[in-house]
Every structure is written in C-alpha cells, then in structure tokens.
Amino acid sequence: MVEPNDAVVLKRAKAAAEQDGFTWEFGMPGAFGAPLRRQHFLSKEGQQEYLERARADLRNEPSIA
C-alpha cells in the first residue's frame, strides 16, 4: 500500500475542516485578513484528527494505477 502524499492529506484535511465550519489555524489578521469573530479554530488535537481521517480516506480510495 502506498502512503498518500502529505500535501494532499493536508489539503483534504483543511477542506474537510472548513466544510465542518472550522478554521484550520490562527493567522494574524491584517488589513485584508478575515475578521476573527465567530471563527472556530481547531486545536492541535483537532487538526490531528482531521489529518488522520483524510489519510484514511485517501488510503481507501481506489487507485488509478
């Protein structure tokens, strides 16, 4: 079994978190930054859960090879 690419796993995890209403990480808001109110940031544990879920989903996808 081939391990999924880390960049693909991260992209999939961030997309799933956003779909669930979470902001992946705290970024410093600037003039063009998003407002911080009403944002739900993930803890490191929450990020790890999404990464594990994304990795498992990618492993279960049929390969095109």
Predicted confidence (pLDDT) per residue in 2-54, tens digit: 678 999 999 999 999 999 999 888 765 554 555 566 678 899 999 999 999 99
pLDDT in the model for residue 31? 47
Radius of gyration of the chain (CA): 14
Distance in Å from the first CA to the final CA of the chain = 12
Distance of CA 3 to CAs 23, 30, 34, 49, 51, Å? 26, 37, 34, 17, 13
- pTM for the structure as a whole: 0.76
